Amino acid sequence: MKIQIKNTIIVLVCLMTFTFSCTDDFIDLQKNPNAFTPDNVTPSFLLADVISASVLDPGMHQRMTQLTNDVFAQYWANEAFSTQQGVTNDEWVSSFYSSYHSRFVANLSEGIRLGRASAAAGKPLNETQIARIWKVWVFSRATDIWGDIPYFGAADGTGENPVYDDQQLIYTDMLKELSEAVDSLSTDNPVQISGQDYVYGDDIAKWKKFGNSLRLRLAMRISEADPALAQQHAEAAIASGVFASAEDECKVTRTATFGWGFQYPYTFYYGWGGLHMSRSMENLLTGLGGQPIAVDTTGMIVDDEGFDLPANENSLDPKANKFRLGVPSVVDPRGPIYFSPAVGAEGVKVANSDGDTIEVDTRNRWIGVPAGLSTGNAALAEHVYTNISIMGPTMSTDAERPLEILTYHELCFLMAEAAQRGWNAGGTAKDWYEAGITASMTHHGVDAATTAAYIASSDENTYGTTVAFDNNSGKSFNGTSVDDAMGKIITQKYLALFPDGGWEAWADHRRLHLPVLIPMAAPDARYTARDGGPDNFTKRITYPSTEQINNSEFYDAAVSSQGADVETTSVWWDQ
């Protein structure tokens, strides 16, 4: 049946599916009936779909956040996949690449083209600039895990295979894009379609702050590779206006009207028995800040020194090869919020270093598991998931908890790092550091008195790191100071970003080798270093195998430029 079109707009329905009909006029048959134009689509529709999928898709979140970036950052450990040994899972990466390129970047690029066409017709749209900002966020994640990627020619509408661009050029352009997009946002532009801006509800001032705060984040990312460019953009972003409080944070919440059926991402995997505290996380939290553990320890074992196990862990770990029970008496106040004591069981049999079998009660163990265990050692009673602390319920199953894209506490630690480098951050490194801790504690409901005592504390964690900014324990780990100013800032940032900030935590560890993390106990053979230095840790993710087939010429050129397509090759900003 033919339907005569009379300036009719077919409205977007259900996950961006559009249906357009033909016309009797021969001239209309020569047009693409499915083409997006400023007359039939606003960029808002395209933008909303990308925001939801890029943040809330549970399968993507599980594979690329929880089981890849978070594992490499050691938020979790012993999750029983190849990433545990520092090996890319090609199926996950190929799926992410397909969505990132064919859906996220393509939709955002189309939205930007539509918005520019609208501006050329005399109707500038804020959605255009918001799409530019979100596109930078999407691209920054992609280039941080791969290095060189298709950027300038990605989803440009030509249908041609895109060339891989140098990461240094990508970062230079992303910083420029954020500057221009923020400057182009204006309350004089038309308001967005009601209900489409799920992040800030058309609050343009907050979009500006997010764009500037994201610019600061990316400027700090390149601080070791290009300090001059980093300082230029960091100071410009700060001067333009970054987050001023938690009210400005960029967060995405799954609600009845937003999520389109997506299950809360952490619940998706939590139900499988995953999300276990790493030993590195345990070591960072235990003892830090001098505050008693905020759980009822009645009937629990406290500060157990443990008994010796056969050597199956990394000897660099201060707690290696010990079977410990119960909970520590002193722990960072966020520790019991982040992780619950193990479910455990009575009568669990454990073989000690003498070959004797000992029966223990593993209930209420607040214990982390080493990263990178071999398959055999991961299955031992001391490491099996039921006997290890798991992500706390308020973090993992509260479907109303927003997923955090960029928070005020992260902003404070970015400012602290900038100030520590001698850049103009409108305050001292100490002031911003303490503001970041306070913001994080407030975020998790820790009272002011406990927070103040924590900030003033010189009590050491497992490695010797303390909280008080002007205190230095003088301790070192593997030959490196653990309690200098930068070490404190990045340690607190790492802890504050949990659980949604694994992408940032892994990036920080690559560029600064901070905070202290224990190397994988049994990494894949491609990791030849065993000295606890940067080469013991995963530096990037390999390109999807589909690119070797579908885009071989440009893939080969990218591999040649970077040196190799392996997990032990550094990206440009990792100096």
In this predicted structure, what is the pLDDT of residue 22? Answer: 37
In this predicted structure, what is the pLDDT of residue 394? Answer: 82
Written as one letter, the residue type at 412 is: C
User: What's the CA gap between 525 and 2, in Å, rounded?
Assistant: 64
User: What's the CA gap between 569 and 312, in Å, rounded?
Assistant: 27
In this predicted structure, what is the pLDDT of residue 266? Answer: 80
With vertex at residue 155, the alpha carbon angle to CA 150 and CA 159, rounded to the nearest 5 degrees, is 105
User: What's the CA gap between 262 and 49, in Å, rounded?
Assistant: 12
Q: Which residues of the chain have pLDDT under 50?
A: 1-35, 40, 256-261
Domain ranges across the chain: 43-269, 406-512
User: Domain 406-512 carries which CATH code?
Assistant: 1.20.120.840
- Residues 6+ away with beta carbon under 8 Å from 219: 175, 229, 230, 231, 232, 233, 234, 237
User: What's the CA gap between 285 and 465, in Å, rounded?
Assistant: 10
Three-state DSSP state, 135 = helix
Q: Which two tokens stand for residue 463?
A: 């490695």
pLDDT in tens, 362-411: 999 999 999 999 999 999 999 999 999 999 988 877 777 889 999 999 99
The residue ranges of DSSP E strands in 221-369, in sequence order, are: 250-252, 307-308, 322-323, 339-340, 348-351, 357-360
User: Domain 43-269 carries which CATH code?
Assistant: 1.25.40.390
Written as one letter, the residue type at 433 is: Y
Three-state DSSP state, 418 = helix
Cis peptide leading into 370, omega within 30 of 0? Answer: no
Three-state DSSP state, 54 = helix
Q: Which of 301, 304, 309, 322 is nearest to 356 (CA)?
A: 309
What global pTM score does this model have?
A: 0.92
User: What's the CA gap between 325 and 278, in Å, rounded?
Assistant: 16
In this predicted structure, what is the pLDDT of residue 9? Answer: 33
With vertex at residue 396, the alpha carbon angle to CA 393 and CA 397, rounded to the nearest 5 degrees, is 75
